[in-house]
Structure 1
Amino acid sequence: MTDLSALTRLCPPPQTQPAPVDWDRVEAELGMQLPEDYKQLASVYGPGSYGGDYITIYHPHGVTLYVNLTGPMPSRIREYLQRDYDQGTYPVPYDPQQLFAIGGTEGGQKLFWITEPESPDNWCIAISEDKGPRWFTYDGNLTSFLVAVLSGEIDVPPFPNLRGLPTDFTPSVPPAFEVGDPPMREPVNTEDIRNWARANGFQVPMRGRIPREVREAWEQAHPA
């Protein structure tokens, strides 16, 4: 059984076929080849989130610039890592130039491809704490990582909130308004937003997606 077959059995994809991706254009825009498992994953599931909306994977058709594979976020996250790497703020265990951000979690973790060796199909997955020193490396591709996490096959000690996630996929819904270029804002742990929201009278779930109106209120109170 392939990794994708295992994932679709565990976590059914949308019944509606996602729009096709022009992979030649995407790879030309990124200036690099992409792993075949990712291209199959993105083609079958489309843009969205796994595990009760907890793990979001960047997609060429991402509905906002925050979750678009060819948008500004991968390079901006690399800038943060490079600064931490150069200044010794946090112990980044890899050369930031070898890390390409491919998603994140509601707990603030960032997911990366480790783009060495040269063959994309041999790239492994790294997970980092948001603004912290903890990292975890998964010796496998993105699809097998999703299978391992959603099935409970692996334990990720630095990030216990990756345990016990629902085995579902939520397609992304385009926003009702045009989203401009995201401001150059430091990454923020979603728990900080939840704590601020509760202190200011907002109702927020313990996990899962933070309601848009809460995030917008937080951003207005904390300008970039």
Structure 2
Amino acid sequence: MEELIGTQRPTRRILDPAEAIAVLEHTVPGLVALRRHEPAVFDWRAIEEEAGRALPADFKSLAEWYPAFGLDDFLHIMLPWPGEEAPRAEAEGTRSERWHSDYPVDLRPAELISTPLVPWGDSTEGDNFYWSVPGDGPGHWLVTICSRNGPWWHYEGGVVQFLAELCDGTLEPWALPPVKPRITGWAVEGGGWHQEG
């Protein structure tokens, strides 16, 4: 069984999605080049039905303004693509595993055995990034990191604020390498990935 080593808290939790995105754009200036001219329109009802729950507002706002992207050849943020909300699952007549963790329950820290984990990112090194989903609404979910090195930990802020604080060094990257604020890849229409040189 893995170990939960602690929880980091932001000095001030940013609740407004637009403010959180502005902080991330300031921290990772290269991100602005990927910003859509207008927010993408998603069928969030279909996405959330597929996920089995409502999703956090900052994540939905990030997806509306940005494609999935990679930071520092390490962290991949998995964002849906507009118009492709759940076509594969529907076509195959199955429920998508996109929004469900396949991490074995018996290997989780004791505190997380009965807590649903919803994936939102992963790393090239095998680290996994989740939300821990308590009974409360998505505004209360914890960012939960499962390091490939074993330790698990929480962050008491939204995903967008987590990314900004991880990249600007405010956050201690427990069991993770430091992540530089540089965009190294992003999703393109049709399911492809553009890798920065």
- TM-score by structure 2 length? 0.69
The question of whether the paired residues in 1 share the 8 Å contact of 2:143 and 2:156 is answered with yes
2:97 aligned with 1:72 = yes
Greater CA drift, 108-117 or 96-105: 96-105
Partner SS for 1:8: helix
Q: Which residue of 2 aligns with 1:113?
A: 131
Deviation at 1:168, TM superposition (A): 2.8
Structure 1 vs Structure 2 CA RMSD: 2.9
Deviation at 1:109, TM superposition (A): 0.7
Percent identical across equivalent pairs? 22
Q: Cα 1:105–1:170, aligned 2, differ >3 Å: closer, same or farther?
A: same
**Structure 2 gap ranges (5+):** 1-13, 90-94
Q: Which residue of 2 aligns with 1:61?
A: 81
Deviations 1:90-125 (A, max 9, x none): x45413542111111112110010112411011110
The question of whether the paired residues in 2 share the 8 Å contact of 1:57 and 1:103 is answered with yes
2:144 aligned with 1:123 = no
Query: Whose RCO is larger (CA < 8 A, sep 6+)?
Result: 2
The question of whether the paired residues in 1 share the 8 Å contact of 2:144 and 2:152 is answered with yes
Deviations 1:60-113 (A, max 9, x none): 2299x9xx9x842443xx33322424xxxxx45413542111111112110010
Quick one: which of 23, 27, 32 aligns to 1:6? 23
Q: Distance in 2 between matches of 1:5 and 1:169?
A: 20
Larger Rg: 1
Give the AA of the match of 1:5: A
- TM-score by structure 1 length? 0.62
Deviations 1:164-213 (A, max 9, x none): 4133363214349xxxxxxxxxxxxxxxxxxxxxxxxxxxxxxxx8xxxx
Q: Distance in 2 between matches of 1:31 and 1:164?
A: 31
Deviation at 1:9, TM superposition (A): 2.0
Q: Distance in 1 between matches of 2:60 and 2:98?
A: 19
Q: Cα 1:121–1:28, aligned 2, differ >3 Å: closer, same or farther?
A: same
